[in-house]
Amino acid sequence: MPRRIVTLTTDFGTSDHFVGAMKGVILSICPAAEIVDITHEIAPFEVTEAAFLISEAYPTFPKKAIHVVVVDPGVGTSRRPILVEAAGQFFIAPDNGVLAMVYGRTPHKARVITSERYFRKPVSRTFHGRDIFAAAAAHLAKGVPPARFGKLIDDHLKLAFDKPARTGKRIWTGTILKADRFGNLITNFHVADHPEIQTRPFEMQAGVQRITRLALTYADAHAGELFLIVGSTGYYEVAANQASAAHLLGCGVGAPVELTIY
Amino acid sequence: MPRRIVTLTTDFGTSDHFVGAMKGVILSICPAAEIVDITHEIAPFEVTEAAFLISEAYPTFPKKAIHVVVVDPGVGTSRRPILVEAAGQFFIAPDNGVLAMVYGRTPHKARVITSERYFRKPVSRTFHGRDIFAAAAAHLAKGVPPARFGKLIDDHLKLAFDKPARTGKRIWTGTILKADRFGNLITNFHVADHPEIQTRPFEMQAGVQRITRLALTYADAHAGELFLIVGSTGYYEVAANQASAAHLLGCGVGAPVELTIY
Amino acid sequence: MPRRIVTLTTDFGTSDHFVGAMKGVILSICPAAEIVDITHEIAPFEVTEAAFLISEAYPTFPKKAIHVVVVDPGVGTSRRPILVEAAGQFFIAPDNGVLAMVYGRTPHKARVITSERYFRKPVSRTFHGRDIFAAAAAHLAKGVPPARFGKLIDDHLKLAFDKPARTGKRIWTGTILKADRFGNLITNFHVADHPEIQTRPFEMQAGVQRITRLALTYADAHAGELFLIVGSTGYYEVAANQASAAHLLGCGVGAPVELTIY
């Protein structure tokens, strides 16, 4: 049996048995699965951050990769598990918006997962990551056709995390999608939607600071200086050379930013 | 050669070369090993936490999986390395109680590992994870029969971490096995041993709080409210909806809890 | 196609999409790659720590293993990507000294990576871990001969992180290479270069403390006592039994230590 990639993106952290249990379930059902940790360090319950993260990671993966995304504040309630096909790959997640930025990038089909035969029994009330999401992913990896999991739906949750709102003639209000390990603050302003930042004077307000400089590389700026940069994601990031912009500004995921173009 | 699962559970963290060195040793001896990280974030020297964690993770793994568990405050002293067979799976660990909750779940056989031919030489005084435990696991993965590692023993350390003591007519004193990533406090009261919590008025004292409510899902409670819940492990957990019970109570692994049934 | 080991050592942390994106790129180019995380927790921009860490991990790996080491404060500037062959293994990294302790252990050959056909296009300015280092490693894993990546060079950066300076007749000044998870401070004094510590009275100054005792195992010392020990790496470590020497001394990576032999 050929290897089949199953990636994991969760807010479970790596200090509990949760991730190990998901891996065990997957390997018990599909011994040929190739499990790839993307991250387990999504901030607890931060659906936006997970939505951003999987949307950045999946395009690097090959066709047929299966991505399990479990950030699930509503576990145990009626929110649905879904199976999404997009870009020749598969996504298994709760229907809470965590895949919304994938939908924004590429056409997709969504199914509600209803076939309990692909669950691990008994299904616990609090650990669907193991009992539903990991188990369904492993059956998919083993060759169960997507249509067996449940019907196509179109009422799944679509959210536009990555579109700043125009709040004035030359003003847009956006947000921080992610504070990365280096303290760079990834905004939801994308270079494709806001090319004018490259050519015209601008001001980006973040925390109590106003940033007016766009740099090409981190090394272009003085140590500690705040600037905008087009990150590897295509989103503008608030950064500081060899320092943490998040720390300097006291900002994190979900903080508002405001762009003015002059 | 078919893939053979070797899982790792340690208190080594992921910021040092320790885990990488264990993986290198395993893959050098057994190139077909499929290494699976369970966790490396056991609190340093916390044998109880590791015992709980591996006992929750192994049941999800397939037959023949090999689990390496290295939480080893006595490294360099005379504590013995052991090889345990249980539930069709294998466990390699120091004989310090770290496998005790596995023994509590299923019949098992234990051997002391004495065959130095399966060690990496020279054996350092401080890094048996690499030189003894990883090396022995890799030889086992490669097909060396368990009996070759050493003799069966029956005097290995058995401890009952998971049994609260009855300290009064209607009173039991237990402990916290684990504070999970979300701050849920997993007690050593198991639903199978204490079903009365489900049907009768009770009080669970943890820190300075008395908890009297049992919830079915996290979402059943108000944000920040403390309650008991049957976790995915079958143990009662002290939890708070979208908040950290560990933080609210100032409690962690090893803290006492007291149950009174009315 | 046989499995080919590709290890990852970075300062990217595990909370971002960076590591997942590198893994996706590798598996897209070389589906048979066996990706092994060594660590992603190098302190940001700490080339010395990464140099130490990979030099400790690689010797446990089998021939033909490919090690990707990305700690790259100069990303986007003119520092070169290099491919190094040493000990029958391969190393792909920026030419900033991060492989210097590998060079110190074994003969090696270095090439500058110039063949852009092995990069992921377009090459971003800020994420060469994905676009250059991961992509080149995957092509190497897939069977591209090393000579295809670029010419042999001899002017790559060689640094002697692991040699204390003699600063007096009986005095050497060294540094801390790494504070490990347990707070042990790994110095750059190696037992092979400084055997006299084993046989003569000595004093090691670290922070405001003078350490005069060499212990054979952690358990030999009283709880909390500071002592020297020969670590599993062969370097002397400042340690404390069941306590963090780093915390007791307020010292970390890069802190100076001074050895006097009497």
Crossing angle of helices B18-29 and C47-57, in 10° steps, is: 30
Cα separation, B241 vs B246, whole angstroms: 12
- Domain C165-261: CATH architecture, name and number where available: Beta Barrel (2.40)
> What is the structure's pLDDT at A1?
65
ipTM for the predicted complex: 0.90
Cα dihedral A4/C62/C83/C234 (nearest 10): 130
| Average pLDDT, rounded, for chain C | 93
Q: Which of B217, B233, B214 is nearest to B54 (CA)?
A: B233
Cα separation, A43 vs B23, whole angstroms: 28
Q: What is the mean pLDDT of residues C138-158?
A: 97
DSSP reduced 3-state for B111: strand
- Tens digits of per-residue pLDDT, A69-107? 999 988 877 899 999 999 999 999 999 999 999 998 899
Q: Which residues contact B240 (CB under 8 A, 6 or more apart)?
A: B183, B221, B224, B225, B226, B227, B248
The Cβ of residue C194 has, within 10 Å, a number of other Cβ atoms equal to 18
The DSSP symbol for B97 reads S
The kind and range of the H/E element at C29 are: helix C18-29
Is 80 exceeded by the pLDDT of residue C98?
yes
DSSP reduced 3-state for A158: coil
Is 80 exceeded by the pLDDT of residue B2?
no
Q: Which residue has the tokens 């590998």?
A: C102
Cα separation, B244 vs A51, whole angstroms: 23
The kind and range of the H/E element at A28 are: helix A18-29
Q: How many helices (H) and strands (E) does chain C have?
A: 7, 16
Cα separation, A245 vs C73, whole angstroms: 16
- Tens digits of per-residue pLDDT, B147-185? 999 999 999 999 888 789 999 999 999 999 999 888 999
Q: Which of B9, B180, B181, B186 to mutate to test the interface with A (most CBs of A within 10 A)?
A: B181
Cα separation, B97 vs B47, whole angstroms: 7
Strand B4-10 and strand B33-39: the pairing is parallel
Cα separation, B245 vs B228, whole angstroms: 10
Is 70 exceeded by the pLDDT of residue B1?
no
DSSP reduced 3-state for C64: coil
Please check whether residue A157 is in contact with residue A240, taking contact to mean a CB–CB distance below 8 angstroms.
Answer: no
- Tens digits of per-residue pLDDT, B192-240? 999 999 999 999 999 989 999 999 887 788 888 899 999 888 899 999 9
Residues from chain B contacting residue C57 (CB–CB below 8 Å): 17, 20-21, 24
DSSP calls for A40-94: S-SPTT-HHHHHHHHHHHGGGSPTT-EEEEE--TTTTSSPPEEEEEETTEEEEEE
Q: For residue B52, what are its two tokens?
A: 């709980």
Specify the amino acid at residue C195.
P
Q: For residue A91, what are its two tokens?
A: 């996504």
Please return the burial class of B234, using the count of CB atoms within 10 Å of its CB with bins 0-12, 13-18 and 19+. middle
Please judge whether A217 and C45 are an interchain contact, meaning their C-beta atoms are less than 8 angstroms apart: no
Residue-wise burial string across A208-231, b where 16 or more C-beta atoms lie within 10 A, e elsewhere: eeebeebbeebbbbeeebbbbbbb
DSSP reduced 3-state for B27: helix
With a cut of 70, list the residues of chain A below it in pLDDT.
Answer: 1
Cα separation, B160 vs A248, whole angstroms: 49
Q: Which of B1, B6, B8, B15 to mutate to test the interface with C (most CBs of C within 10 A)?
A: B15
Residues from chain B contacting residue A20 (CB–CB below 8 Å): 7, 9, 36-39, 53, 57, 60
Instruction: Give me the residue from B13, B14, B31 closest to C62, CB to CB.
Output: B31
- Domain C4-153: CATH architecture, name and number where available: 3-Layer(aba) Sandwich (3.40)
Cα separation, B244 vs A84, whole angstroms: 32
Q: For CATH 3.40.50.10790, list the domain ranges present in chain C.
A: 4-153
Counting residues of chain C whose pLDDT is more than 70, the rounded percentage is 100
B125–chain A nearest CA distance, Å: 27
Is 90 exceeded by the pLDDT of residue B77?
no
Please judge whether A126 and B36 are an interchain contact, meaning their C-beta atoms are less than 8 angstroms apart: no
The Cβ of residue C200 has, within 10 Å, a number of other Cβ atoms equal to 10
| B-C C-beta contacts closer than 8 Å | 102
Beta bridge partners of C6: C35, C66
B98–chain C nearest CA distance, Å: 18
DSSP reduced 3-state for A9: strand
Instruction: Give me the residue from B20, B32, B126 closest to C232, CB to CB.
Output: B126
Give the pLDDT band of residue B90 (cuts 50, 70, 90): very high
- Tens digits of per-residue pLDDT, B9-51? 999 999 999 999 999 999 999 999 999 999 999 988 889 999 9
Q: For residue B99, what are its two tokens?
A: 């496998």
Q: For CATH 2.40.30.90, list the domain ranges present in chain C.
A: 165-261
| Average pLDDT, rounded, for chain B | 93
pTM: 0.92
